[in-house]
Structure 1
Amino acid sequence: MNNAKLKRRATPAIFLLAVLATCAGLQAQNPVIQTHYTADPAPMIYNGKVYLYTSHDEDTTVRNFFTMNDWRCYSSADMVNWTDLGAVLSYKVFDWARGDAWAGQCIYRNGKFYYYLPVNQKNGGNAIGVAVSDSPAGPFKDALGKPLLVGYGYIDPTVFIDSDDQAYLYWGNPNLWHVKLNADMISYDQKTGVVMENMNDMNFGHREKKINSRTADYEEGPWLFERKSKYYMLYPAGGVPEHLAYSTSDSPLGPWVYKDTIMHVIKNRGAFTNHPGYIEYKGQPYLFYHNAGLPGGGGFKRSVCIEPFQFNADGSIPLINPTKEGVTKSAAPLNPYKKVEAETIAWSEGVKTAQDAATGVYVTRINNGGYIKVRSVDFGRGAVSYEARIATALNGGKINLHIDTPTGPLIGTLNVASTGNDAVWAIQTCNVTGIKGIHDLFFVFEGGDGDLFNFDWWKFNAK
């Protein structure tokens, strides 16, 4: 950014209020990430937090095809506010890969995080690699220096560790394969080897249009989990456009029995693909999927969404409708009296996130009229001041602190002063009044033309 050269211009207050009044009626929580296009959700619970791993559709699509170079990670302790942990690795971590960072899944075992990832090899062909890290947010490195698995259609791995500590890896399009992983999580049982499932209608449902001389409905993107001694396999089905379906088994090795559709093809805001993920967090089951719900979205610019649901009494999964509201109930209130990363977001407009080695992830490309919403903030008995870490070459930007809606009660305004340039950070403060209890909090940004400032973290100070 070269903000110092931007011409400042005041925005008429009546116009700004009109824009924000439109936003005030917005109750959307889906898609859950608005600062990047994300797809292929892979949630993982670790140490009481949810870590959401996603593939990443680039803003610019090349050759009218999936343009995906890295994988991103987000975390949440409440299922409504998601902290951007950045791009945790790219396909370049695998020296033998040439691109196509598609759907993967990460799992924790014995002090390390194992991330199973599909890429294309430099010499051609699909392969699945394993990246390993000591932290859920990386850095990840190639665990093997070569692919774990190589074969046509070897994409979209899902990994699962059963109660007896045996780990399984499933993957594939248009077939479904599995291996039994060894305890080291980077090799598999050579005696049983690679096993392909029986791809028939009884196992995976029926489609009208044959694929590879079969009519089974399974397409790709499997997700395996266990609940009450029943094993569930979720997957996109039916060809393009995809819906979500599932099969069950009494064993992680099958045989699988087709059950039903769990999400119909998404129209209007849908992409031609979908990809399921599942967790139960604090007693609540959640289905993760993706659509094309962000501005500019489409088949190659997708976005992750979440729906809470309840299993039927017999353990079956009901038909789940995609909604804009998504998760309406926070799993826990947010504490504003400790440092909160600015990239902790329930909903945002007019901002992006970026990262560098010195600062980590921060909010950038903040424009006049943009805002960040943070859900279920517990102010307790009240706050007296607010502070934020800011970097900017300009004077005159503002962070207006509203509660409940973007045009709700104004509890304070931080008048942003120049720090010298947009890479020099300083903590700036303002007083706040009239706030206690639990509220949604809005940072509404005001200023002139162009990018206003960078925003790293914030916190309130109690009475």
Structure 2
Amino acid sequence: MNRKTSIALTAGLISSMFSLYGQNPIIQTCYTPDPAPYVHGDTLYLFTDHDEDDAQYFKMKDWLLFTTTDMVNWTFRGVPMSTATFKWAKQGDNAWAAQAIERDGKWYWYVAAEDTTKHLHGIGVGVADRPEGPYKDAIGKPLVPGDFGFIDPSVFIDDDGQAYLFWGNNGLWYAKLGRDMISLESEIMKVDTDSESAFGPHVLKHDWQLNKDIMKTGYEEGPWVYKRGDTYYIEYAAGGVPEHMAYSTAKSINGPWTYRGRVMDEAHGSFTIHGGSVEFKGRNFMFYHNGALPNGGGFRRSSCVEEFTFNADGSIPHIPFTKEGVKKPVMNLNPYERVEAETMANSYGLKTDRQAGKDHWLTRIYNGSWQTLRSVDFGNGASSITVCVRGKSGGTMEFRVGDKVIATINVSSNKEWHNISAPVEKINGVHNLTILYRGDDEELFEFDWWKMNK
């Protein structure tokens, strides 16, 4: 099959591919395990880990950030932290699950990294003035020194302003945080995870750390703590390996906890399922990861999300996995404001930069690459479109609604960032928008942003 035939097929198949594969996983440009959503204002921030493309075990060097305002289009916000942020941590690896929160205008990102003084994972905390960073090590040492099972931090601020930090694999520990969010205000307390009434019946499961079968209750790792009304919830990866998602509740943050059952089954293609739920704009969403991306698996995992509704009694229903993910956006995308090129609902063949800071762009754009944005509101129609690009070998960008090309941008080999404008065919209302990239076999160009003009 020659290149022209391949591109013609690609253009015709994009819409059907989007329908077939849906939107889970929600990030396709890299692997994004252990999603930790946080709502601030009208934006949902998604803090994730990062499995390397060639990982054969847990190969994780840094942490990533994405945002959404509509729950269907996700924008890459960079690599705000890495193991290099923490001098006490093993460098270039072991950047494990994390969770972030804002307080008093500061952002605190609690991470699990290998404490080289203990040769076990401990809990560190990075601090920044904005969610995108830059972050610095808040105290220059682990907040919780390394110990067996000291991973997967979850941070929670109660109604009275008291903050808590939970964490643990094959055990569950917690402590009060100081008002400064970078100190412990209490001793470390251990939750009785052997209690069947609190975390489910004992079953024989394989323990990957001990590498043997043992009798365990439901709790495995990945606590996710929040409060709803007068009830505290803790969601967690359960049941040993492979993991499913379960939850327990309590009327006090100190327990006793009561097991409430399974929330999600074992993830597709992954023996772990780390995640948690959040309310955003009056709707509830459960985040988790699986191994469903191409070349994915237990060490190359990707963030997913499902919408759910609490039962009338406050219980969480069983939440099935879907390829579609969030079926209805919470709002439409406005194309008449600057749209970052790294904003998308689905994509093929694209990568983003791996920079810190606030400026980011699409890379690795080749012939046949594409991205789709959902629920773009064209209103009464645009007259033109402007893009910001810098060329490599050069190529074209086709902006498509369904099978109709509404605008074409020709990109030269100009290696400086520059703007290009082109007319847009009349299109009204709300549609999905696909950007299809054409050119020769070399890398075509890099793409910063685009904007429709009335």
State the TM-score, normalizing by the size of structure 1: 0.92
Q: Say whether 1:448 aligns with 2:416.
A: no
Partners of 2:99 and 2:153 within 8 A in 1:
yes
Tell me, yes or no, if the aligned pair for 1:71 and 1:89 is still in contact at 8 Å.
yes
- Per the alignment, residue 32 of structure 1 pairs with 26
Equivalents in 1 of 2:333, 2:52: separation in Å? Answer: 31
Partners of 1:88 and 1:169 lie apart in 2 by 21
From 14, 18, 22, the equivalent of 2:13 is 22
Report the CA distance between 1:355 and its aligned residue: 4.3
Partners of 1:21 and 1:162 in 2: how far apart?
52
**Aligned twin of 1:115:** 109
2:398 matched residue in structure 1: 400
TM-aligned CA deviation for residue 253 of structure 1: 1.7
Write the distance in 2 (CA, Å) between the matches of 1:215 and 1:425: 57
Partner of 2:330: 331
**1:75 aligned to 67, 77, 89, which one?**
67
Matched ranges for 1:219-368 at <5 A: 219-266=220-267, 269-356=268-355, 360-368=359-367
Contact 2:286 2:306 in 1 (8 A): yes
Conservation of the 8 A alpha-carbon contact between 2:393 and 2:444 = yes
Q: CA offset at residue 10 of structure 1?
A: 8.3
**One-letter amino acid matched to 1:450:** E
Partner SS state of residue 407, structure 2: strand
Q: CA deviation at 1:22?
A: 3.0
SS, match of residue 235 in structure 1: strand
For residue 130 of structure 1, give the secondary structure of its aligned residue in structure 2.
strand
CA contact (8 A) 1:11 1:447 kept: no
Name the aligned partner's letter for residue 96 of structure 1: W
In structure 1, C-alpha distance between the alignment counterparts of 2:363 and 2:2, rounded to whole Å:
20
Q: How does 1:399-418 map to 2 (within 5 A)?
A: 399-403=397-401, 405=402, 408-418=403-413
Structure 2 distance, partners of 1:21, 1:15, is 10
Q: CA deviation at 1:122?
A: 1.9
Q: Which runs of 5+ in 2 are unaligned?
A: none
1:61-140 equivalences under 5 Å are 61=55, 64-98=56-90, 99-123=93-117, 124-140=119-135
SS in 1 for 2:66: strand
Task: Tell me, in whole angstroms, the C-alpha distance in 1 between the residues paired with 2:392 and 2:108.
Answer: 42
1:4 alignment counterpart? none
Which region of structure 1 is more displaced relative to structure 2, 214-223 or 70-79? 214-223
Q: Equivalents in 1 of 2:254, 2:107: separation in Å?
A: 23
| Corresponding residue SS for 1:206 | coil
Q: In structure 2, what residue type is equivalent to 1:205?
A: G
State the Cα RMSD in Å. 1.7
Counterpart for residue 388 of structure 1? 387
Q: 1:146 is matched with which residue?
A: 141
Cα distance in 2 for residues equivalent to 1:80 and 1:160: 26
- The CA distance in 1 between the partners of 2:388 and 2:354, in whole Å, is 15
Q: Is the 8 A contact 1:156 1:220 kept in 2?
A: yes
Cα-to-partner distance string for 1:377-414 (whole Å, 9 max, x where unaligned)? 1111110101111111334x1111111x3xx2211111
Percent pairwise identity:
46
- Per the alignment, in what secondary structure is the counterpart of residue 23 of structure 1? helix
Show CA shifts across 1:285-308 (max 9, x none). 000000011100000000000000
**Deviation at 1:270?**
2.5
Return closer, same or farther for 1:250/1:356 CA change in 2, 3 Å cut-off: closer
1:221-255 alpha-carbon deviations (Å, 9 max, x no partner): 00001112111100001111100000000112211
Q: Distance in 2 between matches of 1:195 and 1:15?
A: 60
How big is the shift at 1:432? 0.6
Pair 1:184-2:180 in alignment: yes
Q: Distance in 2 between matches of 1:16 and 1:70?
A: 35
Pick aligned residue for 1:45 from 29, 39, 42: 39
Gaps of 5+ in 1: 1-8
Indicate if the aligned counterparts of 1:29 and 1:328 stay in contact, CA closer than 8 A. Answer: no
d(CA) in 2 for partners of 1:72, 1:187: 24
Asked if 1:159 is matched to 2:160, the reply is: no
Quote the Cα distance in structure 2 between the aligned partners of 1:115 and 1:15. 45
Looking at structure 1, the residues matched to 418 and 367 of structure 2 have their Cα atoms a distance apart, in angstroms, of 21
CA distance in 2, matches of 1:342, 1:305: 21
Is the 1:201–1:215 Cα contact (8 Å) retained in structure 2? no
Pairwise CA distance, 1:214:
5.5
Q: Check if 1:194 corresponds to 2:195.
A: no
Q: 1:394 to 1:359 in 2, by over 3 A?
A: farther
- Distance in 2 (alpha carbons) for counterparts of 1:138 and 1:393: 30
Relative to structure 1, the CA distance from residue 254 to residue 359 in structure 2 (aligned partners, 3 Å threshold; closer, same or farther) is closer
The answer (yes or no) to whether the contact 1:10–1:448 under 8 Å persists in 2 is no
Contact 1:120 1:126 (8 Å CA) reproduced: yes
1:437 aligned to 2:429?
yes
| In structure 2, distance between residues paired with 1:258 and 1:83 | 36
Matches of 1:357 and 1:282, distance apart in 2: 29
Please give the alpha-carbon distance, in whole angstroms, between the structure 1 residues aligned to 2:125 and 2:357: 27
- How many angstroms does 1:275 deviate by? 0.6
Decide whether aligned partners of structure 1 residues 356 and 287 sit closer, same or farther in structure 2, where only a CA change above 3 A counts.
closer
Letter in 1 for 2:71: M
Q: Report the alpha carbon displacement of residue 357 of structure 1 after superposing the two structures with TM.
A: 6.8
Aligned amino acid, residue 386 of structure 1:
I
Note the C-alpha offset of 1:278.
1.3
C-alpha separation between the residues in 1 aligned to 2:315 and 2:442? Answer: 51
| C-alpha distance in 2 between matches for 1:278 and 1:88 | 23
Question: Number of matched residues?
Answer: 440
Alpha-carbon spacing, 1:130–1:149, altered in 2? closer, same or farther (3 Å): same
Distance 2:313 2:154 in 1: 25
Distance in 1 (CA, whole Å) between partners of 2:44 and 2:86 is 26
